[in-house]
């Protein structure tokens, strides 16, 4: 079986439960030999994410949710 790969898209990494869960999931996948990519507008926990050897993709802050959902796949590609 191949190593797991994880892509997480979150609204912020500024702290709190969602940011912590994102970091924990990335660390778990990396510990199993996989790779983790997190796409977000950033925040205070980006440094922790990078220390865990995950990749961070900087996304613009969500201002028009529908437009963002329609254009996000192209940006991530």
* Separation CA 68–CA 11 (nearest Å): 11
Tens place of pLDDT for every residue, the chain, 77 residues? 788 999 999 989 998 999 999 999 999 999 999 999 999 999 999 999 999 999 999 887 766 667 666 777 777 77
pLDDT score recorded for residue 60: 78
- Note the pLDDT of residue 76: 75
Q: What is the pTM of this model?
A: 0.83
């Amino acid at each position: 079986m191949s190593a797991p790969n994880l892509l997480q898209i979150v609204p912020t990494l500024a702290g709190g439960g969602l940011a912590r869960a994102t970091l924990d999931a990335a660390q778990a996948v990396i510990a199993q030999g996989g790779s983790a990519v997190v796409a977000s507008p950033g925040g205070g926990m980006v440094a922790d994410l990078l220390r865990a050897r995950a990749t961070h993709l900087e996304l613009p802050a969500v201002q028009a949710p529908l437009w963002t959902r329609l254009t996000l796949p192209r940006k991530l590609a």
